[in-house]
Structure 1
Amino acid sequence: MTERLTEFLTAINQFDTLTAAAQSLYVSQSYISRRLNNAEKEYGVRLVERQRIPVHLTYAGERLLSYLQREQQLQQAKLTEMNRLGEFKFGSISIGINQPLAATWLPQLLPDFYQVYPQIHTDLREVTTSKAEGMLLDGQLDVFIGKTIYHPQLESNPLGVMPLSLLVPQNSRLYRAGMFQRTATIQTISQLNGENFIAIGNESRFQEVVNHHFHDSGIHVNSRIEASDSRVAIQLALKQLGCVIVSQNMVASLDQKLPINIFNFDESLLSLDFSVAYRLAEMPSQTTARFVELCVEKAQRLINTVPM
């Protein structure tokens, strides 16, 4: 019944009336009302303010929903870990990582990790930061390496700051022949007004940083293409389809004979926080804690070779 109460409170948060909330869950309004009345008697507090439209959760209702959601996440994490332990008797760890990082970071981290846990099973998954957040919360991931996640139920250990670059194709008004590498300034950003721009859809946290910077600077670009990841975006920019912002390491190896300009941002102007994260619903396992320690130990050397 706890699971149903969670569904009911969540629906009430989303709809203006009990009837609409009930319809979204394919139950009757009277059934939701009875379940809420029983819960209010059980906990001794009012959970829903029903006297006016839209109906809404009381503070107690919001807090109860938060606890119920955390209980569900912890239950799912427990089942996931027990299933893995049943299958792998020497233990298992599930590691999520942003797509371009795996080839650089994992060969540096896993050999040392396996010296400590030589028989552990490791499940490696390349995921976006947004997806990783949900997977950490419900126990599908034990740890995640990538763009910093800000969530009260997750702990993010900083690994460093990732410098960024603006790639400008030849058909951009910012382009200057014979000036392959340039330093980005506030004026550079202001000149992006009206420029064709390639956004990076799957790396939404990355794009959020860029979008916020544009907004704060009063910049309005023409985001006519949304690429699946940074590598695809760079290839589209090389075909003169728009400007794109990516990590400096991704453009460092590009041929200087290409008809493009690369503007490198100072960290104080535009950069991206980089972390290793795990959930706080319970104390991390010994294996997770050791893996996090390895990430932090090696961060300063590895952050300079990240091909984001």
Structure 2
Amino acid sequence: MNNKLLSFLEEIKAQGNMSKAAQALFVTQPYISRVIKNAEDNFGVKLINRSSHPLQLTYAGERLLDFLQEESQLQANLDREMTHLSQFKYGHLTIASNEAVSNDVYEPVLLKFYEKYPEVHAQIISISSSEAEQRLTAGSLDFFLGDPIRNHKVQYVPVTHIPLALIIPSSSVLYQPDQTFVDFSKLDLSKLVDESFISIPRNNAYHRLVASFLHNQGASVEYSIEVPDISLVASLALNNLGVAVIPESYISKKNPYELKSLNIARIPVNMLTAEFGISYIKSKLTAEPVDDLVNIISDIFKEANPS
């Protein structure tokens, strides 16, 4: 019942509406109401302020949600560590990255890591930073490479800053014919008004970073194309589909003939970069391997980019 109550309270808080919460969880609205009412009778407090629109949790509801989330995390940690103890000397590590991390980053990291820890079972996945934060705090993820995660339950180590570039299609008012690379300092971004902009989801830290930068530059773009990851943003932008801000690494992978009919403006690093780092949860079981993994990744990035 606690798991159901937890998911119901989380969804009601997120949706602000009982019916929408029920739809999101694929249950009926009367069922959610009954579970919430039983819990209120059991604890003798109101968990939801039903007079507010949208619905809000009461203080008691917020406190109960906090306790249930902590209980869920403790249970997940227990289950995971028992599995570790039964199968591996150092256990299992789930390592995730966002889309800015290419596969060639993992090769030197894993080669060095497995020289010392051949007993570790590792799973490598690709997820967004928002999903990574949820999974880290829930105990189903050990390690994340990507955007900074600011959460008191998560340890974060900055590694580097990723240079970014503005991609300008031939349809843009800023487009300069017969040029590929243009000087960013000579561009007037305030001329970007209602132009089609390619973006990742708005709840992503990278999207918020870029949106804030464009706003400060006086640009008013239309976020008309939203895709799941940065690699797809880069692919579409480099195929002249719309304006976008992408990591420079995606440009270097292209042949020059593939960059025709668009402009690329490298954004000065003192104006905008994407911070890149390591976020992780360290348990007693995996403390030593995780510490070494942090050091290996930091060293490899310093070797690749001493500045």
Band of TM-score, shorter chain: 0.7 to 0.9
Q: Look up the match of 1:205.
A: 205
Q: Look up the match of 1:287.
A: 289
Whether the 8 Å CA contact 1:105–1:302 is kept in 2: the answer is no
Matched position secondary structure for 1:145: strand
State the 1:158 CA deviation: 0.7
Written as runs of structure 1 = structure 2, the 5 A alignment for 1:97-176 is 97-176=97-176
Residue 53 (structure 1) aligned with residue 51 (structure 2): yes
Residues 236/157 of structure 1: CA separation in 2 closer, same or farther (3 Å cut): same
Q: Look up the match of 2:220.
A: 220
d(CA) in 2 for partners of 1:16 and 1:254? 47
Matched position secondary structure for 1:181: coil
Q: Look up the match of 2:40.
A: 36
1:138-165 per-position Cα deviation (integer Å, ceiling 9, x unaligned): 2222101111122332222111211110
Instruction: State the AA in 1 paired with 2:295.
Output: E
d(CA) in 2 for partners of 1:303 and 1:47? 55
5+ residue gaps, structure 1, are 41-45
Matched position secondary structure for 1:66: helix
d(CA) in 2 for partners of 1:106 and 1:291? 11
State the 1:96 CA deviation: 0.6
State the 1:72 CA deviation: 0.5
Q: Look up the match of 2:77.
A: 77
d(CA) in 2 for partners of 1:289 and 1:25? 48
1:59-116 per-position Cα deviation (integer Å, ceiling 9, x unaligned): 3542342132122022113213433443445522111112352423211211221222
Instruction: State the AA in 2 paired with 1:122.
Output: A
1:198-234 per-position Cα deviation (integer Å, ceiling 9, x unaligned): 2234993322221222334442223332344334333
d(CA) in 1 for partners of 2:247 and 2:306? 10
d(CA) in 2 for partners of 1:223 and 1:290? 41
d(CA) in 2 for partners of 1:11 and 1:201? 19
Instruction: State the AA in 2 paired with 1:39.
Output: F
TM-score in terms of structure 1 length: 0.79
Residues 26/89 of structure 1: CA separation in 2 closer, same or farther (3 Å cut): same
Whether the 8 Å CA contact 1:156–1:277 is kept in 2: the answer is yes
Instruction: State the AA in 1 paired with 2:105.
Output: W
d(CA) in 2 for partners of 1:86 and 1:155? 27
d(CA) in 2 for partners of 1:185 and 1:115? 47
Instruction: State the AA in 1 paired with 2:269.
Output: E
Whether the 8 Å CA contact 1:16–1:53 is kept in 2: the answer is no
- Which one of the candidate residues 256, 261, 264 is aligned to 1:259? 261
d(CA) in 2 for partners of 1:248 and 1:260? 15
Instruction: State the AA in 2 paired with 1:53.
Output: S
State the 1:287 CA deviation: 1.6
CA RMSD for the aligned pairs?
Answer: 3.5
- Count of paired positions: 297
Q: Look up the match of 2:303.
A: 301
TM-score in terms of structure 2 length: 0.79
Q: Look up the match of 1:43.
A: none
Instruction: State the AA in 1 paired with 2:270.
Output: S
Residues 236/185 of structure 1: CA separation in 2 closer, same or farther (3 Å cut): same
